[in-house]
Structure 1
């Protein structure tokens, strides 16, 4: 129902922007939902009138007429069926994202430039340049009523998702596009404005083949096929990422080849019934996932509701002013120019591809813009491979060879000539400034390095900025975070005459040796700086002694980042406990008063042996034998009592946001994190810093088997999973 409420105004707006009959947008939404929903390979993707084809479709309608445009849609659908059967969709991720996003951004700019004329009460021109040239004259003489309706639509679109409070939360259940059109329609009551006109349904005349040069028709079919396919496949990947974040998500990813077949079948049916070209849309698909869709039935039913709406609610739809739909589509066009994408492509030095594609689409057209983008991408790729600068400097400390660019077989002759300038027995530093080295370049560099060292010289390899590069001692280097029992590099050769240590000690020394060989060269400069300046950590991390909790790994931290306190059960005894707890209290006091940390994190974990021991001790009663472990674990009894109190009162004080709590061990681990945060606040130094606003306490829970971290929301007392960000929807 949510997607249906979004699809109806959006489909009408896209049809208005293309110059096609308005009913064609509803036909595309219904066919896209039912046909593509049943046959496609991305179950939660919602297909409908293609946003990315607005400019192309408008040009086709003007050049060939509506019936011929429907025929082109059918031919494009057949081409998609052939491409899907040939299994070419799996190659779609190989297309540069800079080109795809530049293409969509160019289409978005063109859409916005055309629809702003409708919002101002005028009519759009046939090209983006003509719309831009005529914009000043339209701005000086706008139609007040149309401008008012457009402004109301845009205001509601912006404000609606940000409505505060409980009342606002309830209103946000209505999709923003529907709310914007509904409010604008209500405001337009009594005004004289062009409105939606849906003629009585009649059987659509069969599509007619376009009249014109065969090459032009072929280019039109190719453009519709490429743009619709890329928009659908890119949206399918984005929606599949959103789906994969849910705990109930199936393991199988979306089938892009099947999705292309479903899109082709939908375009064939839509063209035959007089509908617009169809593509999957990340806007509708992400709304579908956010609304809780679990199967493809949600997509299909959205198409059914659109079909019923087109037949039963014609009189309601005809109240909508065209200016409101134009403002809605203009907002969609502006949203297609994503600043997040621009920042991303600039970071990866792909902005020339993005800018060339965007500008060419606006000035020349979609297919021409795509061609320009591909040509620029090929040129940049060849330039990056071939453009490698190698210099040799003779310095008092030795020779410096600087390689700027990628080292491929094309650069091997230059590399060999440069290295030949270095005298024998000389010291040399080779600085590699690129991010890629193929086998030919590696072999040439390695052979020269071995020969130079054999002649008495020394060679140091380092990366950009002077970072050392560790040279593997063999082709079987160990990979990080693999169990020690599989670490051949940490197993020194066994001395059969040495019986003093045949266990983990030798393995530990082997690991230290591997550190000295591979890791120490990479961190020596940083550790030297820290040794000189002293430690300045910003975080105190209190966690369990469990060997499976590697704090530096789960927090992506390095030397000098974390001041870590570990004990059995991640316990923080409150003030007034016996002297055996002074070690933990002293560490906290030192971190808060001397190191001035800004955050204290208490981190529990799944399968905690201390929590299991607390539960077992509660079952055994007070007569159990007292050991060092049981005496320490008495500091966890307040957590156990708190969990039991919650159970007696029937209050859900602790919860995981993404899934139910598995068992009592996990429930106690979660409660224990909150209890230790309360114990921390009982320490005067901590309470004072928190009151001053210079210290923050936070809780964390790490599920070992899932490698998933959860962070505590103090207000809702809910642990929420930390998820990677999803790419902005198209």
Structure 2
């Protein structure tokens, strides 16, 4: 019997068409909001969403997850644009895409599943903290400071500044109302079925702004074609610098990890084909390479859009491709519609998105059951806020490796005393690494200083160079001390015998 092609099934096409419209309505405000928060023209967010649908959507990998600009990369993109300029963004994204393609070709996609979940959650939490701290300023139509620490320490001044400005209070009111509507809208099932929460919140904020002609900042539009700025040859010279290489690696690592972890989450939502991680990594790489060539934002698979796609009943990849078609049609036909959207409303959408990146519900159980993992999560998040995205993730990965090494490096000492006059046998068992060296030396130092020892290391499953050198040095020093103490004891005995000779009991 011939297998029915799902693309030719009217029911499947109808389900995918409906799902694609839902995803389009969810993606539209997010694409624009991520672009504005990243400090680039709003159209660049739409271009990335279009590429995510029309390029990545066609390629094999994960059948139902949707790609586009992500809130998780907003902070890093903003820092890159501030440091290297908008012209260099295309180079960074293109290089990251090519690196993803190479990693997919080398079948490294599955290895991203080996990254500690605590590091990924900490990365998202750090991104969420910095994103929320920055967008709170945009809620009041104010520019945010550069670093994460400055954003947090500047909040009291922002509150005072906002309280003394009518325009800032108006913008803050619109942004706060947007956040509240995003929280409350899903609790109204009838409304949520008609419009996704992000679109409903932004649409209502826009309607109020236009109706009352509120004097707050609106999105600025340059035109879809004008926004496309392929990187020039001069921009590629920056790839020779350490800073740009680090940014490319950060783009690659974060975009790949977020996409593949999103794929794992989406796989749990449906019963269709499972994700091929290497193919998905190549699909993301191809999409980012095209985005880079167009000078647009980097893309990842986005869990918000992907879950909306699955919940809307999508059955094939046609839904995500069609969502790209709707984004293209809107950007080409109604670009002026973006100009009436208040920036404060988009900031509210991203404040809400930043909060959802925070593992608030998971942290308590994680602290109770796996405290070391919770520490890794917290350290990663704080490191991102204090330093930057790339260094924070590296610190988190290092913490995770140290934690794992500490947990598997158990070592203990057993002694065997064969009797006086013979060396004490010392058996060291387990995994001897530098992390356990202080504890190991403390155990050895409790052995009698006046007895020589024989170290037996056959019970060790692993011993690193630091431990091997320390053990041999300790044995040599301990036996030398024991020999000296023994010699001194024998010398003292000879002196005592000379001072107190035994009485002469020979017959007279």
Superposition TM-score, scaled by structure 2 size: 0.74
CA positional deviation for 1:338: 1.5
Q: After superposition, what is the alpha-carbon deviation per residue over 1:651-699, rounded to whole angstroms, capped at 9, x for unaligned?
A: xxxxxxxxxxxxxxxxxxxxxxxxxxxxxxxxxxxxxxxxxxxxxxxxx
Counterpart residue number, 1:362: 385
CA positional deviation for 1:219: 0.8
Counterpart residue number, 2:499: none
Match of 1:295, SS state, is coil
Structure 1 stretches lacking a partner, 5+ long:
244-248, 393-406, 419-439, 443-730
Counterpart residue number, 1:310: 331
**Equivalents in 2 of 1:362, 1:210: separation in Å?**
29
Counterpart residue number, 1:205: 229
| 2:181 counterpart of 1:156 | yes
Alignment of 1:654-665 (within 5 A): none
**Equivalents in 2 of 1:84, 1:12: separation in Å?**
29
Alignment of 1:284-683 (within 5 A): 284-346=305-367, 347-349=369-371, 350-387=373-410, 408-410=430-432
CA contact (8 A) 1:70 1:275 kept: yes
CA contact (8 A) 1:156 1:176 kept: yes
Counterpart residue number, 2:251: 224
Counterpart residue number, 1:34: 54
Q: Which has the higher helix share?
A: 2
CA contact (8 A) 1:98 1:345 kept: no
**Equivalents in 1 of 2:76, 2:60: separation in Å?**
24
Match of 1:141, SS state, is helix
Query: Are residues 11 and 205 of structure 1, via their aligned partners in 2, closer, same or farther at CA, if it must alter by over 3 Å?
Result: closer
**Equivalents in 1 of 2:390, 2:137: separation in Å?**
25
CA contact (8 A) 1:106 1:362 kept: yes
CA contact (8 A) 2:128 2:353 kept: yes
Equivalent pairs counted in the alignment come to: 396
Match of 1:318, SS state, is helix
**Equivalents in 2 of 1:50, 1:157: separation in Å?**
18
Q: After superposition, what is the alpha-carbon deviation per residue over 1:6-39, rounded to whole angstroms, capped at 9, x for unaligned?
A: 1010011101111011100000111011111111
CA positional deviation for 1:344: 4.7
Counterpart residue number, 1:196: 219
**Equivalents in 2 of 1:227, 1:365: separation in Å?**
13
RMSD: 2.5
CA contact (8 A) 1:64 1:211 kept: no
Counterpart residue number, 1:10: 30
Counterpart residue number, 1:555: none
CA contact (8 A) 2:141 2:217 kept: no
Alignment of 1:686-725 (within 5 A): none
Q: After superposition, what is the alpha-carbon deviation per residue over 1:246-269, rounded to whole angstroms, capped at 9, x for unaligned?
A: xxx33x411010000000000111
Q: Which has the higher strand share?
A: 1
**Equivalents in 2 of 1:387, 1:368: separation in Å?**
30
CA positional deviation for 1:374: 1.3
Counterpart residue number, 2:267: 240
CA contact (8 A) 2:410 2:430 kept: no
Q: Structure 2 residue aligned with 1:82, among 79, 102, 109?
A: 102
Structure 2 stretches lacking a partner, 5+ long:
1-20, 163-167, 416-428, 434-438, 444-458, 462-508
CA positional deviation for 1:215: 1.3
CA positional deviation for 1:342: 1.6
**Equivalents in 2 of 1:69, 1:408: separation in Å?**
50
CA contact (8 A) 1:80 1:260 kept: yes
**Equivalents in 2 of 1:103, 1:326: separation in Å?**
21
CA contact (8 A) 1:345 1:354 kept: no
Q: Structure 2 residue aligned with 1:123, among 117, 138, 143?
A: 143
CA contact (8 A) 2:67 2:301 kept: yes
Superposition TM-score, scaled by structure 1 size: 0.52
Question: More deviation in 335-344 or 5-14?
Answer: 335-344
**Equivalents in 1 of 2:63, 2:34: separation in Å?**
24
